[in-house]
Homo-oligomer: A and B are copies of this chain.
């Protein structure tokens, strides 16, 4: 049996934020041990308590179990924080952090009063066996699919571990970039920059660290890692190349073409040698698609009521590839205008996120007789393309062949308004919130 004692006490206050709670890190060497149960059993016990407090009626366990955001639970952890003598532990780190949570399930478009900013504490026992990593969040990716996690029910919630439902009061996982503050994981060291699943919070405790990737390069601005070189980029790249299987000269239609994924799909398609038309919701965006991003054409989908004839006008020779980010009427119209052997990559259904009655009913006779393939996909299944994606996209960035569209808000307080803006079409390109300056 190994007994290790340390007597150093280290207390660091790294940030003081007056709004809701001070984010603070406390690093305390373990100095007392008791003998009531082993640490694993205790952690399990506490996790169970958290789950029962936060799972609600929604049921599914979050993809990345986290120490409970509820201050009451954090307090409990602090009170019971006495290491079992079998655990080799040099010090304990505690950080009080702010996180955004929902007050209740959200069924329509999100509004400010759906959310609240709360505070809680993460506790990391450095050098224990958890492999956990404590991360200070720098950039958070703001994505429409999160709205489906916030509903009482959405079919997406059972589809994938990334998309499980979020219960009111619970923390909200999100893709982003952070800097390691402390690590119980050999793969990560203090000050490593990491990309992966963090959350709508200023500090995240990555359980086991297995949803994080250490960033090895600093060639590009850090924010790119949450956009063009992150999941949005891989989604665009995999969706276009792996799902749509383009041929040079193909006629490509992209909806929400000024969005985080759409603008990249359009640019990849142009660089590949396709004819590309995009749609967006304002004249300014339409102009940008044509003038800045080099789309062959673009239109404002809010003008003109008959989407079928609009698409007919923009694609007199028919559509070969439709990269669908919206679903609903647009999907119907695109299928109606498709050429034989057309391909639809179904990436998003934003028109239905705030109103499920807008469900699409594409003409299945078109699907049969034009041998159309409609395929849903998630970037996570296409990591075999990751090397190609990074290499190709980095080259495009270096040579200035691809434009980076970023739309960055600042501070955790802006997360909720940034999120609401997605459903009003406020964003141009990748919507990010920079939680803090480096």
Contact = CB atoms under 8 A, between A and B. Distances in A.
Interface of A: 148, 154-156, 158-160, 163, 324, 327, 331, 336, 340, 346-349, 352, 359-361, 363-378, 381
B377 A374 contact: no
A232 to B, nearest CB: 15
Contact of A155 (B327, B347, B348, B363): B363
Nearest to A353: B365
Contact of A374 (B155, B365, B370, B375): B375
A376 B370 contact: yes
Contacts of A366: 155-156, 159, 376
8 contacts: A148-B365, A155-B363, A155-B365, A155-B366, A156-B369, A349-B364, A369-B376, A373-B374
A82 B284 CA distance: 70
The 6 closest A-B pairs by CB, nearest first: A159-B369, A367-B376, A368-B376, A361-B361, A359-B361, A156-B365
A250 to B, nearest CB: 18
A255 to B, nearest CB: 12
Nearest to A328: B364
Given A346-B368, A368-B376, A371-B377, 7 more contacts: A148-B365, A155-B365, A159-B365, A352-B365, A359-B364, A366-B376, A369-B376
B364 A346 contact: yes
B375 A373 contact: yes
Each complex incorporates copies of this chain amounting to: 2
A321 to B, nearest CB: 15
A380 B346 CA distance: 27
B349 A368 contact: yes
A378 B369 contact: yes
A357 to B, nearest CB: 10
Contact of A377 (B349, B360, B368): B368
A18 to B, nearest CB: 40
A331 B374 contact: no
Chain A binding surface SS class: mixed
A158 B338 CA distance: 11
A360 B352 CA distance: 16
B352 A359 contact: no
B371 A376 contact: yes
Given A159-B340, A336-B155, A381-B371, A349 B365 contact: yes
A367 B374 contact: yes
A385 to B, nearest CB: 15
Contacts of A374: 367, 373-375
B373 A352 contact: no
B340 A367 contact: no
Contacts of A364: 324, 327, 331, 346, 349, 352, 359-360, 376
Nearest to A154: B365
A346 B365 CA distance: 9
B369 A163 contact: yes
A368 B336 CA distance: 21
Contacts of A154: 365
Nearest to A358: B361
* Residue with the highest number of chain B CB atoms closer than 10 Å, among A148, A159, A369, A375: A369
Given A374-B373, A375-B372, A346 B367 contact: yes
Contacts of A340: 159-160
A368 B347 contact: yes
Contacts of A324: 364
Contacts of A373: 373-376
A373 B369 CA distance: 16
A74 to B, nearest CB: 32
A148 to B, nearest CB: 6
A8 B99 CA distance: 100
A373 B345 CA distance: 10
Contacts of A348: 368
